[in-house]
Amino acid sequence: MASIFTRLINGEIKGEIVHQDEHCAVLKDIHPQAPVHLLVVPKKEIQSLGTARLEDQLLLGHLLLTAAQVAREQGFDETGYRVVINYGEDGGMTVPHLHLHVLAGRPLTWPPG
Ligand code: 5GP
């Protein structure tokens, strides 16, 4: 069965897509943890960072550059932002379809909780 993100990208369930290209889509997170909270999602259903393979390396680079591009477009180049990938139970991963979180719009504390 397709992941929740794939169904969202395909328009089968409702969600807000702010950017899309051949390889990925950028969605607004349904439970934002910052004033801006976006998810950069590859259209290829890679389950997680831990299951990404050498053949995915160009795609992984594209996801990072897309995260930087959307953050720049939304005006966060000067104030900054955070890009996060959660993996596994301790990492807090809840959706088994690789995605990068882009968090911006407030000072983010470190270390994360
Ligand atoms: P994870 O915990 O796997 O790193 O992140 C999953 C993210 O997906 C969470 O921040 C969660 O709020 C978001 N999310 C889960 N279901 C949906 C949904 O149906 N729509 C959108 N836009 N985001 C979702």
Nearest residue to 21 (alpha-carbon basis) of 65, 51, 81, 53: 65
Q: Is residue 79 pLDDT above 90, yes or no? A: yes
The amino acid present at 1, given as its one-letter code, is M
pTM given for the model: 0.98
Q: Which atom of ligand 1 is least distant from the CA of 16?
A: 22
Percent of the chain past pLDDT 90, that is, above it, reads 98
CA–CA gap between residue 5 and residue 51 (Å, rounded): 17
Structure tokens belonging to residue 103: 């968090």
Q: Which of 19, 23, 31, 99 is catalytic?
A: 99
Nearest residue to 60 (alpha-carbon basis) of 80, 74, 40: 40
99 is catalytic: yes
Percent of the chain past pLDDT 70, that is, above it, reads 100
12 Cβ neighbours under 8 A, 6+ residues apart: 2
34-64 residue pLDDT tens: 999 999 999 999 999 999 999 999 999 999 9
Distance 99 CA to ligand 1 centre (A): 9
Quick one: average pLDDT of 64-85? 98
Q: Is residue 30 pLDDT above 90, yes or no? A: yes
pLDDT class of 113 with cuts at 50, 70, 90 = confident
Task: List, chain by chain if needed, residues with CB within 6 Å of any ligand 1 atom.
Answer: 4, 8, 15, 27-31, 39, 86, 92-95
